[in-house]
Amino acid sequence: MAGLLRLEVATPERMLLKENVREAQVPAANGYLGILPEHAPLLAELGTGVLVYELENGQKKWMSVIGGYVEVGPDRIRVLANRAESADEIDVERAQAALRRAEERILNPAPGIDVARALNAAERARVRLEAAQHR
């Protein structure tokens, strides 16, 4: 039988997840990485994106991840995220408000507004909303 991977997700403030998974899709800085058991050791930076993993029973779970690092060993994935939330704890209203605010700033940049920052904020909000769709 195909082995399982130990997926650990930690943020500076708490340990978010410790779970055995069949596979995981990790939002690395240069694009998504699909990881199966027996993967070669790998270290990568994370971008802003959705982490999807499949549990032992075939159930899929989503989680938003913002920045950090991932370390892959033959039987484990360690995600050290700057921020991460599982799909069911994301505050959808807040993310929507953040998205609207950021888009507003991008479209009508008032003086003193950092557009790059607004773009990042919009990206973060979008990722949260995307993950939250899969509760």
| Residue 8 contacts residue 77 (beta carbons within 8 Å) | yes
**29 vs 119, beta carbon nearer other proteins:** 29
Q: Is 83 helix (H, G, I), strand (E, B) or coil?
A: strand
Q: How far is the CB of 133 from other proteins (least distance, A)?
A: 26
Site string for other proteins, 69-98 (x = CB under 8 A): x-x------x-x-xx---------------
Interaction mask 96-135, other proteins, x per CB under 8 A:
----------------------------------------
CB of 105 to other proteins, least distance (A): 20
Type and span of the H or E element at 18: strand 14-28
11 in contact with other proteins (CB under 8 A):
yes
- What are the angstrom distances between the C-alpha of 56 and each of 16, 59, 64, 75, 78? 18, 7, 21, 14, 18
| Closest separation in Å from C-beta 5 to other proteins | 16
Distance CA 74, CA 13 (A): 27
**Cα separation, 16 vs 8, whole angstroms:** 8
For residue 59, the tally of other CB atoms under 10 A from its CB is 9
Residues forming the site for other proteins (CB under 8 A): 8, 10-15, 28-30, 33, 40-45, 69, 71, 78, 80, 82-83
